[in-house]
Amino acid sequence: MKNIRLLATAAMGLESIVAHELRQLGYEVEVENGKVLFTASPAAIPRCNLWLRSADRLKVVVGDFKATSFDELFEKTKSLPWERFIEEDGAFPVSGKSHKSKLYSVPDCQAIVKKAMVDRLKNKHGIAHRLVETGARSKIEVAILKDHVTITMDTSGDGLHKRGYRVGQGDAPLKETLAASLVLLTNWRPDEPLIDPFCGSGTIPIEAAMIGQKIAPGFNREFDAEEWGWVSQKYWDQAFEEAEDVADYDQALSIIGSDIDHKMVEVSQKNAMEAGLADLISWKQMQVSDMRIDHEVNGYIVSNPPYGERIGDKDAVAKAYKDLGKTMAQHPSWSVYMLTSMKSFEEQYGEKATRKRKLFNGFIETDYYQYFGKKEKMCSGKCSTH
């Protein structure tokens, strides 16, 4: 098959990180709100699903056109080459969304796209009876924005944040894609220490370890596109072989995750074991005021601490921020990166951040407070990921 148009979705504020990852993989990209677009051969589907740490999903752009009537939506959808992508028995559930468009009824848009696809596939595959849809799944999405229609096929299946290692979690788990992004937004190198003093279920230390040893984040999971006949098995074999060749399992790491809750430390240990990283990360049960740092080394604090949003938690969280600030004031060569929604973080920490970056943790608006150590150089998202 010739080159195809691909779309990597990104959480708000992380588009530049996703774009940088794709550039490192060798693709020329276009960045838009919430997505990064590029053109490549089908071989990019296995590679990107395996390697993208910060993207939410990878989709094939099948159609891109303007439509202001249901007839126009039907005809333009039907004109697309669906038979190239979906086999006779292929399953193709359709979802949709519409914003500021004449075609605002999402259920109607979904039904029309589905009918157009069925008509096209029955005609091209020479089928008189009903399509059985018992084969490989291709999740279709019709997205309409200001009368512009984009129809995509999801190659990933489960979201790319599902790495396959999470066997336990706390009340507000950090998505793996966001955790990886927090590390990628630093200039941390695998020969430097990294500490997460509010580790929760251990996602940041685990993602850092995978980055440090150049382990492909999608190596231990499955993708919908693995069942697609038009994506050659050869491409999947090559992608997994590349992942094996690139991985540096001999890279020594100094990564510590700690939490005041001993149950979360146990969860972190189990998750790290499931990820195959049990011996690479040290886990400790302690409060941040008990954290001790080696004066002879420079390193990084990267964390997603409690936000103090529940009644009764705010004072305890503010104290933890103050304790962290007091400790880190004694280590000015260390860099500190903290994600929180608490607007008074800088006041509690005792120092104004060198830089702030607005990010969303789920639906919670947060700031990523960045304190660059004396030897730290500013990172604009162009950091090592592969």
pLDDT over 50 (residue 381): no
Q: Among residues of the chain, what percentage have pLDDT more than 90?
A: 90
pLDDT of residue 375: 67
pLDDT at 24 over 50: yes
Are 215 and 253 a contacting pair, CB within 8 Å? no
Return the pLDDT at 294. 80
The residue-averaged pLDDT of 315-330 equals: 95
| Measured distance CA(297)–CA(85) in Å, rounded | 54
Say yes or no to pLDDT of 1 above 90.
no
Higher pLDDT, residue 114 or 377: 114
Which domains, ranges and CATH numbers included, belong to the chain? 4-154 (3.30.2130.30), 176-213+251-371 (3.40.50.150)
pLDDT tens digits for range 281-298: 999 999 999 998 987 789
Give residue-wise pLDDT tens across range 180-211.
Answer: 999 999 999 999 999 999 999 999 999 999 99
Q: What's residue 310's pLDDT?
A: 67
As a whole number, mean pLDDT of residues 151-160 equals 98
Mean pLDDT of 334-348: 97
pLDDT of residue 309: 73
383 pLDDT higher than 50 = no
Question: Which of 124, 157, 275 has its CA nearest to residue 205?
Answer: 275
Task: Please tell me the predicted confidence (pLDDT) of residue 308.
Answer: 85
Residue 382 has pLDDT above 90, yes or no: no
**Mean pLDDT, to the nearest integer, of 104-123?**
97
